[in-house]
C-alpha cells in the first residue's frame, strides 16, 4: 500500500501540460465523484452534489446528471470513459456533453499490451511484428490498441489488434475540451495486482486518479461496489438497477462461484475492488497521506463498516418519514 501511495505522489511530478492544467483546476477544491448506485434515488442529494467545485462522473453517468438532477446533481465537469463507450460512439462523444452539460475534461481509458499478450501474438505470427491492419506499421507494446473483429479470406471472424488512433482517426485530438489518456495497465504496475487477476473498474480508477490532483476534499456519492445486486435476477436486470451504461460484471458478487470475465476482460472476484477501496479509506482516515480528505456517502459508509441490515433499517425509516413530510407539503 505504501508503494502505491508513493506512486500517486510521484505521478504528481510527471504531469504533462494538460494534466498540469487540470491540477491547477482541482487542487485544494471540493470534488464530488458520483456513481450510479440506486441508493441515491429519492435522497434529493442533487443540490448537495452540485455545491461542489468539481463534479466527476463515469461513462454514461453524465446522463444521470441530465435526467435525474434532483438526486444525482446536474453538472459534469470531468468524465471518465471506457473503451466500450469509445466504441459505442465510434470514437467520438456527443456534442451536448460539452455544449450543455459543461464537460471540461475527458479521461479516456486506453489499453496497451501486456508483455505476455504481446509475446503471445508475436509467437502466433512466428516472431514477426504485429501489423496494424489500417496503417500497416508494426504495433509496439506501448502503443494504444483496440482489439477488433476481422474477417479472414474464408469468412472466419478472428480477433486482431489495431492502433486506437488508426481505428478511430484523431477525433479526440480535435475535441474542444482536453482529453487525457489513461491506460488499463497503469495501476497494475504500481500494485503488482496483475498476478491477483484483478484490474480496476473505471469507477475505482477515477477515484485513484483524482487523488493525484490533490483536491482538498474528495466526496464519493453513489458508489456501492455492486452492493445493490443481491441475486442472479438482479444481475439480469442490472440496467434497471444501475441505469443503462453501467454493467454489472460477472463474478462481482458473492453468489457467483464462477470466475467469468466480461467483454473488456475485467475480473472482479467477490469484492476485491471494495477491499482495495476499504484499505485506502481506512489508511487515509488514520493519516492523511495524500493530503486529500476522503468522505463517503452513508450507504458506502455502511458497506465499508459492514453495518448490518437491521441497523440500516433505522436510516431507511428516517428517510420514509422525511418523504412523508414532503408529501404533506405538496
Ligand atoms: Zn495503425
82 alpha carbon to ligand 1 midpoint, in Å? 20
Residue 126 resides in a domain:
no
Q: Which long-range contacts (CB under 8 A, 24 or more apart) does 205-208 make?
A: 205/80, 205/109, 206/33, 206/56, 206/58, 206/80, 206/107, 207/33, 207/277, 208/8
112 alpha carbon to ligand 1 midpoint, in Å? 13
* Residue listed under C-alpha cell 474464408: 154
Q: Please report, for the domain that includes residue 73, its CATH number.
A: 3.90.1480
Tell me whether residue 192 is exposed, middle or buried, using C-beta atoms within 10 angstroms of its C-beta: 0 to 12, 13 to 18, 19 or more: exposed
DSSP state of 173: G
DSSP string, 255-280: T-------TT-----TTHHHHHHHHH
Residue 117 resides in a domain:
no
Q: Can you give the pTM of this predicted structure?
A: 0.81
DSSP string, 12-53: GGG--HHHHHHHHHHTTSEEEEE---GGGTTS--HHHHHTSS
Range of the domain at 76: 2-109+177-319
Residue 239 resides in a domain:
yes
Q: Which three cell numbers stand for residue 146?
A: 483496440
* Residue listed under C-alpha cell 450507504: 299
111 alpha carbon to ligand 1 midpoint, in Å? 14
What whole-number distance in Å separates Cα of residue 203 and Cα of residue 302?
19
Residue 324 resides in a domain:
no
DSSP state of 138: B
Residue 27 resides in a domain:
yes
| Three-state SS at 111 | strand
Residue 161 resides in a domain:
no
| Three-state SS at 222 | coil
Residue 276 resides in a domain:
yes
14 alpha carbon to ligand 1 midpoint, in Å? 27
Question: Within 10 Å of residue 276's Cβ, how many Cβ atoms?
Answer: 21
Q: Of 13, 92, 43, which Cα lies nearest the Cα of 222?
A: 43
CA atoms lying within 13 Å on the CB side of residue 227: 23
What whole-number distance in Å separates Cα of residue 93 and Cα of residue 121?
31
140 alpha carbon to ligand 1 midpoint, in Å? 10
Q: Of 27, 80, 76, which Cα lies nearest the Cα of 246?
A: 80
86 alpha carbon to ligand 1 midpoint, in Å? 17
Residue 116 resides in a domain:
no
266 alpha carbon to ligand 1 midpoint, in Å? 25
202 alpha carbon to ligand 1 midpoint, in Å? 26
137 alpha carbon to ligand 1 midpoint, in Å? 6
Tell me whether residue 269 is exposed, middle or buried, using C-beta atoms within 10 angstroms of its C-beta: 0 to 12, 13 to 18, 19 or more: buried
Q: What is the tens place of the pLDDT at every residue in 144-174?
A: 888 888 888 888 888 888 888 888 765 566 7
144 alpha carbon to ligand 1 midpoint, in Å? 10
Q: Print pLDDT tens along the chain (330 aa).
A: 777 888 888 999 999 998 999 999 999 999 999 998 888 989 999 999 999 999 999 998 898 888 889 999 999 999 999 887 887 787 788 889 998 888 999 999 888 887 788 888 888 888 888 889 889 999 998 888 888 888 888 888 888 888 888 887 655 667 889 889 888 878 876 666 544 556 678 898 999 999 999 999 999 999 988 777 766 676 666 656 676 555 444 444 333 333 333 433 344 445 778 888 898 899 998 888 788 999 999 999 999 998 866 555 554 444 444 444 444 433
Q: What total of structural domains would you count in the chain?
A: 1
Amino acid at each position: 500500500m505504501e508503494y502505491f501511495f508513493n506512486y500517486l505522489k510521484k505521478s504528481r511530478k510527471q504531469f504533462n501540460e494538460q494534466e498540469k492544467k487540470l491540477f491547477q483546476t482541482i487542487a485544494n477544491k471540493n470534488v464530488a465523484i458520483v456513481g450510479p448506485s440506486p441508493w441515491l434515488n429519492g435522497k434529493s442529494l442533487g443540490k448537495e452534489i452540485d455545491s461542489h467545485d468539481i463534479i466527476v462522473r463515469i461513462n454514461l453517468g453524465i446522463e444521470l446528471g441530465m435526467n435525474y438532477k434532483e438526486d444525482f446533481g446536474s453538472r459534469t465537469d470531468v468524465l471518465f470513459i471506457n473503451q466500450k463507450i469509445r466504441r459505442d460512439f465510434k470514437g467520438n462523444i456527443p456534442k451536448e456533453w460539452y455544449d450543455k452539460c459543461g464537460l471540461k475534461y475527458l479521461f479516456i481509458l486506453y489499453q496497451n499490451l501486456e508483455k505476455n499478450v504481446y509475446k503471445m501474438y508475436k509467437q502466433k505470427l512466428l516472431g514477426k511484428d504485429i501489423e496494424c491492419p489500417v496503417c500497416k506499421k508494426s504495433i509496439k507494446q506501448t502503443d494504444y490498441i483496440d482489439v477488433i473483429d476481422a474477417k479472414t479470406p474464408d469468412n472466419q471472424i478472428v480477433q486482431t489488434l489495431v492502433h486506437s488512433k488508426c481505428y478511430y482517426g484523431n477525433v479526440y485530438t480535435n475535441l474542444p475540451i482536453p482529453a487525457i489518456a489513461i491506460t488499463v495497465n497503469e495501476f497494475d504496475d504500481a500494485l503488482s495486482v496483475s498476478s491477483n487477476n484483478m484490474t480496476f473498474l473505471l469507477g475505482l480508477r477515477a477515484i485513484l486518479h483524482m487523488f493525484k490532483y490533490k483536491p482538498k476534499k474528495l466526496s464519493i456519492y453513489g458508489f456501492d461496489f455492486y452492493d445493490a445486486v443481491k441475486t442472479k435476477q438482479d444481475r439480469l436486470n442490472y440496467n434497471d438497477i444501475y441505469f443503462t451504461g453501467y454493467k454489472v460484471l460477472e463474478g462481482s458478487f458473492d453468489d457467483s462461484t464462477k470466475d467469468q470475465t466480461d467483454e473488456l476482460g475485467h475480473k472482479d472476484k467477490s469484492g476485491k475492488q471494495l477491499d482495495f477501496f476499504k484499505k485506502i479509506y481506512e489508511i487515509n482516515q488514520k493519516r492523511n497521506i495524500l493530503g486529500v480528505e476522503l468522505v463517503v456517502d452513508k450507504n458506502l459508509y455502511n458497506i465499508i463498516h459492514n453495518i448490518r441490515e437491521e441497523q440500516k433499517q433505522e436510516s431507511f425509516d428516517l428517510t420514509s418519514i422525511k418523504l412523508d413530510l414532503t408529501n404533506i407539503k405538496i
